[in-house]
Amino acid sequence: MKKILLSLAVAFVSLAASAQVYVGGSVGIASSKTDGSDAVTTYQFLPEVGYNINGDWAIGTTLGWGKGDPVEFETGARNYVKVAPYARYTFVRSKYVNAFVDGGFGYAHYNHADAATPSINQWEAGLRPGLAVNLSPKVSFVSHIGFVGWKSAKYDVSGAKANNVWGASLNGNNITFGVYYNF
């Protein structure tokens, strides 16, 4: 196990030395309400690591956690974990602002809200546009705005039916802000 961790550390340092790695993440908070129910406040903390393949393309992943429910269910506050690998294409690049789009998929597992409510599994695939404001050559302020694609959420019980959503969403549940450090 020590050899594996040491190998990963050496690989990370060598990639970071070549100035192609970025680390950072995003935080998000939102409030949503369905007719006749209480408002649900959600938050998320999404650390991120990525690798710049060239000036236009990058690959990365987000691995994070938060509290809240998928909007499709709105049953209360649940803790969840999320993983979302992506490929990023930067289509506008300037000295101060970059515009990009992340294309990828994600999985989130929402824990039981209480003993009577089962956990939920959620999958998504789509595009997430964003902007990066370059505060310095090493630090960028990043915002993801909206989501275009497919989401599916399903209770983790035998025979449960999935709730599927296709489309574009530019509401407050799909905006995150973060900071990246570019090595």
Are 40 and 56 in contact by the 8 Å Cβ rule? The answer is no
Average pLDDT over residues 98-124: 88
Is the per-residue pLDDT at 79 higher than 80? Answer: yes
Main-chain phi, psi angles of 11, to 5 degrees:
-60, -45
Q: What is the pLDDT of residue 102?
A: 96
Of the pLDDT bands very low, low, confident and very high (cuts 50, 70, 90), residue 37 is confident
Q: Indicate whether 137 pLDDT > 80.
A: yes
Residue 4: predicted pLDDT: 66
Domain range list for the chain: 20-182
SS3 11: helix
Q: Which residue has the higher pLDDT, 127 or 172?
A: 127
Looking at the predicted structure, is the pLDDT value of residue 13 above 60?
no
Mean pLDDT of 37-64: 89
- As a whole number of angstroms, the distance between CA 79 and CA 76 comes to 10
Which CATH number among 1.10.287.130, 3.30.700.30, 3.30.420.40, 2.40.160.20 corresponds to the domain 20-182?
2.40.160.20
Of 136, 113, 109, whose CA–CA distance to 124 is shortest? Answer: 109
Q: How far apart are CA 52 and CA 82, in angstroms?
A: 22
Q: What is the pLDDT of residue 140?
A: 94
